[in-house]
Amino acid sequence: MNPDFEMRRLLDVMPASGRMATKLVSKPEQRLVVDSTFPMPWVRDRPIWINFDLWDRLSRPQRDLLILRTVSWLTGVKWFRPSLYQGVVAAGVVGGIVELVQGDPVGIIAAGGLTAIAGAQIWRGNRSTQTELDADEAALRVAQRRGYEEAEASRHLLSAIEAVAEIEGRSLNFTELLRTQNLRSIAGLSPVGVPDRARQN
């Protein structure tokens, strides 16, 4: 596989927002088919590293859905969106500054603790199973704009998740098992979806 040609093709498959927010990078030495790091709020670049020798073992539809899913996950992590916890963090930071100026150590500790708790909730929300499932479903929506039917796209993403695990010589982890169950449900292959309780983990 020619990495340059494939990267150009993948850029055409990706949504415009994904092309602007992420960068495709060839990394032949990595043992993973495709990899990316969790996007932190202070990091602007969101690279997607691909081992094209391993990538070539996937079918074209599997590659399409896998790149759409990776891009959807990277662009779906939102650190600065209006929410209760965002407001609490902002209030905690402002309160901490006020207490620091006034020299009140108890107030500084209280404001810092409030900020830390709210920040931890934002972190947890961005790392939840629901975020992973949302990324899958966002990828399916983009795939439909690229000519795939929803059930067909679900089957391709499902088979891509399983194929990647096989290529990398590992078993599916718990989150991947939930994702595959959700995709089976969307594809009409199973009447059982993912319970709401499992989505919140």
pLDDT per position as a tens digit, 58-69: 999 999 999 999
Task: Please give the Cα distance from 151 to 187 (Å, whole number).
Answer: 4
CA atoms within 13 A on the CB side of 157: 36
Find the domain containing 176 and state its range: 3-78+128-199
State how many domains the chain has. 2
Q: Looking at the structure, do residues 179 and 157 belong to the same domain, yes or no?
A: yes
Give Cβ neighbours of residue 7 (< 8 Å, ≥ 6 apart). Answer: 24, 26
pLDDT-derived band at 157, boundaries 50, 70, 90: very high
Q: Looking at the structure, do residues 69 and 166 belong to the same domain, yes or no?
A: yes
Tokens of 107: 């107030």
Q: Looking at the structure, do residues 25 and 74 belong to the same domain, yes or no?
A: yes
Does a structural domain hold residue 184?
yes
pTM as predicted: 0.76
- Closest residue by Cα to residue 9 from 63, 88, 58: 63
Does a structural domain hold residue 83?
no
Between 101 and 10, the higher pLDDT residue: 10
Scan for tokens 């093709």, then name that residue: 9
The 8-class DSSP code of residue 56 comes to: T
Q: Looking at the structure, do residues 38 and 110 belong to the same domain, yes or no?
A: no
Q: Looking at the structure, do residues 106 and 24 belong to the same domain, yes or no?
A: no
Report whether pLDDT(159) > 70: yes
| Angle value at C-alpha 27, between 61 and 14, nearest 5 degrees | 35
Does a structural domain hold residue 160?
yes
Q: What is the pLDDT of residue 131?
A: 86
Q: Looking at the structure, do residues 72 and 152 belong to the same domain, yes or no?
A: yes
Q: What is the pLDDT of residue 103?
A: 73
